[in-house]
Structure formats: structure tokens, C-alpha cells
A and B are shown apart, each in its own frame.
Chain A
């Protein structure tokens, strides 16, 4: 006798099939009609706005994560990437952080991190060995880029499990590890990092997020359906991040305690530095995994005050702390204020906090459409970008599960996952269909993601470091509008102008952006400010507010060009209180 399940199920199915069976001749007619449909009757396919240009660009790096049977959590969390012009030739180069072996990894040849020089002709060439940045140290996680000594060449900070490395740019294509001398070696499991000038003294300081207190020898045995898996972070204690103050003499001082950073509890993965209340002091937002995210107000006196609770950016609207991974700040609704995006775990939704001003944010993930996306995806790298140059901030999210055996232990959730591109349409986001189908047709295990215009053609390209896989370089091929790319150089402010705010007015409206520190997940993006201008034929005015408080206004600027602005040596107008 069949089981009740079979009996009922089959009965229903059979009855349905009987009702809906289509005669064979009709089926054949339908099939032939479909095939015979002329091309002009088929709906027009929008072209994919990006194309995978990894291989054609000459990037052959494959991330090594050192997967072991012990399932050390570090093996699945990395790694990051960066866009930086390390040789100051005007073309963005790229850096891919490699993972490494853990004590229990099977033997393999670790190839170190990868630095690729942009040849300016669409090709990149690997210069890792020559640059000295390849050094194999701790397990590689994230990267921050900043000219901490204001010498005009970007320096590189690579975080890891154990100690971190500060590579000083020697201006000749090589780097020297100065972490110990500079006092930023750190300890424990460091993740994302951000260069930003928190005390506005003209030198970039450094925030380093840290994840959990992890000991390779004490990793617990965690399982899903009796299969060993990577452990939930709840199995490990959280550790506070670190804040290093740049003393201006190539030395940093750990000011975590004095600033209040050391007392914060959280499992830090993502960080973005931006000025959320427009008082001229850069604030911090930290995306934490399973503990509440943290928003810190810069008091302007070397300390920070936690604004998480007032702002409503620590939890979802139900009061649940989510699994924050990556984060970015950007003005998605065009009101001039920095909003926040946070990527989260599967079955959660990515968060979008709209800045209402006065440290109040509204969780608008549903209203803005972000929460309607596929809940089976686990987001890591993310960023606001105007991919189609239409004048508003779109969003990109790189996804990939943490469980490398997800396909086996979870029913529908996959380890490799697609990248998502959300197009902003008047403050509401809709997923760009052609992007997923054509630009990233093969799902990957996305992690660190960085943004920048690698070919100086006025649109934003994207690089994703995929865990245990080759990276994805997405060249922007969107049919897009006009643009402007601003390269800011500070003199009284930090040379990278991190913290500078730019407001631009065209005939169609105004836009605001800031040079942010950190962003995304474990990654560093192009510091140039990109504006999509849509159909605007000129820029009526453009105001730069430098971190020093100096303001400069420019009028009637031509579009579709890269502009370099240098901060006046003498203050023009002090706007900061």
C-alpha cells in the first residue's frame, strides 16, 4: 500500500496532468510557432552593462584559501582587493590579497599577494615579485590604501590573521614593510581597514576592524547534518578594532583606548569612514557579524561617541542584530546626506539605512527594494556606484556563501553565488537582469570588491576577489551618460583628500559625494570622485570642501573629463565650526 504522502501527492498530480494535458498536435504547433517567431517580434534585450574582462586583461591570479579538514573559519572569509595607482602614472593598478595556508592546510605552494600594473591599453602585468608586496606573512584578509606620509605615492596596508603589514611605497615600483617601525603590526584577526584623517591634522590615520578571537589550536567542531562545516561566529569571542593615530613622522600611535574604540564590542568585518553629520570630522560605521553594527560620531577632540542607538543603524527594524559583512556610504536619494548599505547573511536581507539628518537613519530596505532580492544569497563586498552615469547611486553586491559544502548540507543555498547589480530608479532599486545573465553568468564565491575607473573612460569598473577562485574584473560597458572624474590633492589636508566633500550642480539638479575611507569588504577603491551626469551638457558649479575646512567653488566646467583639483595652500574660507 502506498504511503499517504505518495497516494495523495500522486492523485493530485495525476488529476492535474489529466486536466492540463495538451494534445500532441497542438503541442507541435505551439513549438513550431515559437521557433518560427520572427526576430522582430521578440522583446529587445538590454545589453549587459558590464563584461568579464579578467582573462583578457591578463589577470591569472587564483586566490588560495588553504581549505583544511579542520574547517578553520579564516579559510572562508577572505580576501580583499584594491584599486590604486601605485606608480602614479594616472592608470589604476590592482592588488589582490591572497589567503594562505593555515596550520592544517594540505601542502601547497603559496603564491602570495598579487599586484598588477595597468599598462593603459586594457592589459595588466603582474609586478608582485618586483614590488615586494608578495611577501608571505600571516593569512591575508583585507587591504587599505592611503598615502600616509603625503609623499604623493599610495601606501598599502594588508591585514591578516596574526599580524598586519604596512607597505611603504618607495616611489620606484617597490614597497618596503614598515609595519613594525610604524607601530601598526596589530595582532589577532584583522579584517577591513580604513585610512582616514580623524583628527584633521593633515595625515591619514588608520582604523583596523577585527573579527573574533581565533586560535587555530582550539577551533571547535561544528557540523550541519552531521557534516563538518565552518563554525558560526557565536563560537568565538569578539574583539575590538584598533585606531592608530598618524603622528606625522611615519609613526602611528595606538589610540584605541583614548578614542573609545577599544571599549566597543563587535565582530568587525566591514568599515566605512565618512562625514555623516557634515561637521567636517570623519565618522565611522562598522559592519559587525551577528553583533550590532556601530555608528561612531567623531567628536573632533580625538574621541568618538557611539550613535548606534539613536541612529537606528545597529539593528534591523525588528531589533535583531544581523550578520553584517560589507558596508558603504553614499547618497542614494540625492538629498546630500550619506546613507548606508550593509550586506548580510542569507535569509536576512541587505540593509539600507537612509540618513535623515541629525544622526537619525531610517531602515528603508523594503521601501527602497533592496530587501526584495533573493534571500538565499550571502552578501560580502558592496558599494554605491553610478554604473550608468545617470546621476544617481546604484548598488553592487558580491555574494558567496561561507560554507564550502553548502551545496551538500543546505538544500537550495549554494556556495557559489551570483553578483547583483541594483539600478537606482528614483530612490528605488531594481535588479539589473542582463548583468547577471551575461556579465557574471557563472556564480562565484565573492568576497572583497573594489570600484574604480581602470580605463579612465568615465565609468566605474569593478574587481571582485573570489574565495579560492580566480577574481572577476568587470569592465563597465554600459550605454551611459556624461561624467566627471575628480582627482583631489590635499595640501593642508591629507594629500589623498579623504574626507573631502564635493557638491556639483547641473541643469538637472545637484549631487553630493565624499572621498570615503574603507568601504565594501576587506577592500580599497579608487579615491577619485566619480559623478555620472546623465544628459547634462555642463556643470554649472562645483564646490569642494576640503577636510581642512577650505572651500573652493568652480563654475561652468566641461563634462566628460578627469579634473585634478589641488587644495589652495592658503585657506579660502573656513566652513567648519
Chain B
């Protein structure tokens, strides 16, 4: 069963899972939005090209000029494509500042490509600039009212800002009912009404028992609440029902693995995590979870290996430096441990300063 929100889950798997289950929920709006550009992803650049051409038809003069100057068209198109590619690459690597700058460059050349506004909105959102993010989502939606990804992004962004009514108003018929329920769950979380969010998520699983995402949402809520047995059951259902949807399957497997790890069932958790890692060579969260298990079970060398792998994927991943530092200390490599701890501390400072002002659904109530 496909839905726009289905792609949100894909986002969780890809990079939102770079956080704890709680933090994943916390940032689900970012995650959700972040997915949208990736879903056009299969060919972000070709989308731009077709959009470019389509809109060109409305400008006769320009068309004449462009037709008469094919080199110009190709050059402009090629420049936009090139910059967008660079921006997208930077975005994927987590270099948000660079991505933002490149996308602004694209907008200087053409300001009416919805995908560019969407990606810029997502970038701003991840950078914690909610206002700018919203502006770009709105422009993108204005340019293409049928752009479901951006509609989803904007809706979730609004929910994160506490505006459920406006978010629901954005939701069209083409959105599945469980997805609308998910918006409500998000809104409840935003209000720190965790019991109600859980209640609603569970109710949604009763209303739509065959819809894998409902089980996934409910399981995530349950895990956060420490209801591990129930969480496990819903993760298992989500994994079974979403067997043919890779994103759901992976998210459910990860959730299941982390739940099992919390229960101390490392033997059951490890194969799940290994399967995720083998299917996604750049998966950070599965490595972190597995590294944590190795650490807990005294397999420090393995924990070090995984931490180093994560750092080679993303040198800014503070939790990998933390794990590495701890594992190195346990093996008596105090100097190396200290080095990574210092990096962890530096990253901790940076992340706490950059996350200021970001919507934090699971923020401490005094934040």
C-alpha cells in the first residue's frame, strides 16, 4: 500500500535513523521532508529538465530565442543540472550549508522549479530555519499544486509548528486515511500529549490492521514508552505486512532490532541489524545499534570497527565518536580514546547550537 507518507518511512530508514528511536520521532518532520526530494530522486535532474522545458512553452519570446539559440538552452540547462547535482550531492552528504548555497544559485537562474524550492525547504528545515523552509515549501506548492511530496512536507512542517488544522487542510483526498491519522499522532506528540499520541496510534492500528505503517508508528510510540513487548509485536506486524515495501521492512526491522536489544535479546537483534547493514552499506544507525551491542557484550574490537566504519561514512556523527572513545578506553588505548572524546565534545557543542530553534517534538518539556 503506497502513500506519500510511505516515503516518510523511507526517510526514517535512510537518515533519520541516525538518531535514537525517540529522536527519530522527534525529527520526523525533518525526516519526512527530507524524503520528498529523495523520492523524486530517481531522477531529480531529469525532472528539472522536463519542468524547464514545459514551462518554456509558455514564454513564446523566450522559446523563439531559445530555439534560435539552442546552445544557450543547452548551456543554461546544463548549468542548472550541474549545480542541482552538486547541491543534491552536498545535501546527501549532510553538507547543508553548501547545499543551500548551491540551490540558491539555481534559483538565481530559474526561480520557478518546484523541486528546487522543495529541496531548499528541506535543507532549511534540517538547518533549523523553519520559517525559510515553510516559505520554500509554499512556493513549491504554488508552482505545482499536485506535488504530493511537498504537500506532505508542508503538512508535517505545519504540524511540527503546532498547526494541525492548516496541515489537515493541505491534505487531499489522495492521502490515505492512516496518513491523516499519522498527522494527528504527530500533532499530539508536538503537544507533548504522548499518551494520547500512543492511544491514537494504537487506534489506527485497529482501524487499519493491514496497513504496515500504522503498526510502525504505534511500535515507535510504544518503544518510547518502554512497552517493549507490545512494541516488538507491532514491529513484527509491520515487518510482515511491509515485506514487499523495502523502506517499511527495513524501518520495522530496525525498530524490532533496537527493541530486542533493549530487552537484552542481543542474539535475535544482531542478525536483523546485519541484514540492514548488508542491504544499505551506508546505514549509520544499524551500525551504531550493532556497535552498542558489541560494546555491551565486551566485543570492543568489533565495536571499534563499526564506529570507524560510521566515521568513514559521516565524520560528524558524534555518537560514533562516543562509542569509539568508550571502546578504545576499554581496550586501554587511552590516548586514542581521548582524541575521539574531544571530537565528540566538539560535535556535541556544534549540534546543540545548530539545533537551537528546530522543532523538537520530543523535547524536554522545559526546552
Contacts and interface: CB of A to CB of B under 8 A. Distances in A.
A263 to B, nearest CB: 16
Interface stretch (A36-44, A237-245, A342-350): A342-350
B319 A318 contact: yes
B329 interface: yes
A367 B364 contact: no
A31 interface: no
Q: Which of A8, A317, A319 has the most CB of B within 10 A?
A: A319
A413 B365 contact: yes
B264 A410 contact: no
A4 B326 contact: no
B329 A309 contact: yes
A46 interface: no
Contacts of B191: 411
A319 B318 contact: yes
A346 B364 contact: yes
Contacts, number: 99
Interface string A365-407: 0110001110110000000000000000000000001110010
A310 B367 contact: no
Contacts of A12: 177, 207
Interface string B211-239: 00000000000001111100000000000
Interface string A316-333: 011100010000000000
Interface string B184-225: 100010011111100000000011000000000000000011
Interface string B18-42: 0010100000000000000000000
A63 B39 CA distance: 58
B294 interface: no
A402 B344 CA distance: 30
B180 A4 contact: yes
A521 B180 CA distance: 45
B259 to A, nearest CB: 10
A412 B193 contact: yes
B52 interface: no
A375 B180 contact: no
B304 interface: no
B323 to A, nearest CB: 8
Contacts of B196: 411-412
Nearest to A9: B184
Nearest to A376: B194
Interface size on A, as a range, is 35 or more
Contacts of A315: 322
A375 B226 contact: yes
Interface stretch (A181-189, A224-232, A433-441, A493-501): A224-232
Given A347-B365, A362-B296, A373 B207 contact: no
A312 interface: yes
B330 A360 contact: yes
Interface in A2-22: 3-5, 8-9, 12, 16
B169 interface: yes
Nearest to A233: B366
A318 B317 CA distance: 11
Contacts of B130: none
A332 to B, nearest CB: 16
Contacts of B194: 375-376, 412
B217 to A, nearest CB: 16
Contacts of A231: 366
A224 B365 CA distance: 8
B74 interface: no
A104 B274 CA distance: 59
B198 to A, nearest CB: 10
A319 B224 contact: no
Contact of A346 (B20, B181, B188, B365): B365
A11 B325 CA distance: 54
A247 B111 CA distance: 76
B97 to A, nearest CB: 24
Interface in B271-305: 292, 296
Interface string B162-181: 00110011010000010011
Contacts of B225: 375
Contacts of B263: 366-367
A470 to B, nearest CB: 25
Given A412-B193, A413-B192, A371 B171 contact: no
B230 to A, nearest CB: 11
Nearest to A367: B264
Given A3-B169, A373-B226, A309 B362 contact: no
A383 B290 CA distance: 33
Contact of A371 (B207, B226, B292): B226
Contacts of B348: 319
A9 B177 CA distance: 9
**Main DSSP-derived SS at the B contact region:** helix
Interface residues of B, number: 49
Contacts of B177: 8, 12
B137 to A, nearest CB: 19
Nearest to B259: A366
A402 B366 CA distance: 9
B165 A3 contact: yes
A309 B325 contact: yes
A309 B341 contact: yes
B326 A312 contact: yes
Contacts of A309: 325-326, 329, 337-338, 341
Contacts of B224: 375
B142 interface: no
A309 B224 CA distance: 27
Given A232-B366, A323-B364, A372 B228 contact: yes
Contacts of B22: 347
Given A310-B329, A319-B322, A412-B194, A366 B262 contact: yes
Contacts of B330: 310, 360
Contacts of B169: 3-4
A230 B366 CA distance: 8
B364 A345 contact: yes
A349 B365 contact: no
Nearest to B365: A410
A515 B164 CA distance: 55
A186 to B, nearest CB: 27
B180 A412 contact: no
Q: Which of B193, B263, B323, B364 has the most CB of A within 10 A?
A: B364
A367 B165 CA distance: 41
Nearest to A12: B207
B365 A403 contact: yes
Contacts of B322: 315, 318-319
A401 B319 CA distance: 29
B235 to A, nearest CB: 16
Contacts of B323: 319
B184 A372 contact: no
Contacts of B292: 317
B193 A232 contact: no
Contacts of B329: 309-310
Q: Which of A9, A347, A360 has the most CB of B within 10 A?
A: A347
27 contacts: A4-B168, A4-B180, A8-B180, A9-B184, A224-B365, A232-B364, A309-B329, A309-B337, A310-B329, A318-B20, A319-B319, A319-B323, A323-B364, A347-B22, A347-B364, A348-B364, A349-B226, A362-B296, A367-B263, A367-B264, A371-B226, A372-B226, A376-B194, A403-B366, A410-B365, A411-B192, A412-B193
Interface of A: 3-5, 8-9, 12, 16, 224, 229-232, 309-310, 312, 315, 317-319, 323, 345-349, 360, 362, 366-367, 371-373, 375-376, 401-403, 406, 410-413
Given A366-B263, A401-B365, 20 more contacts: A4-B168, A5-B164, A5-B168, A5-B184, A8-B177, A12-B207, A231-B366, A309-B329, A309-B338, A318-B319, A319-B348, A347-B364, A367-B263, A372-B227, A373-B226, A376-B195, A411-B192, A411-B196, A412-B193, A413-B192
10 cross-chain pairs, A with B, having the tightest CB-CB distances, nearest first: A319-B322, A372-B226, A411-B193, A366-B262, A5-B168, A411-B191, A367-B264, A232-B366, A411-B192, A310-B329
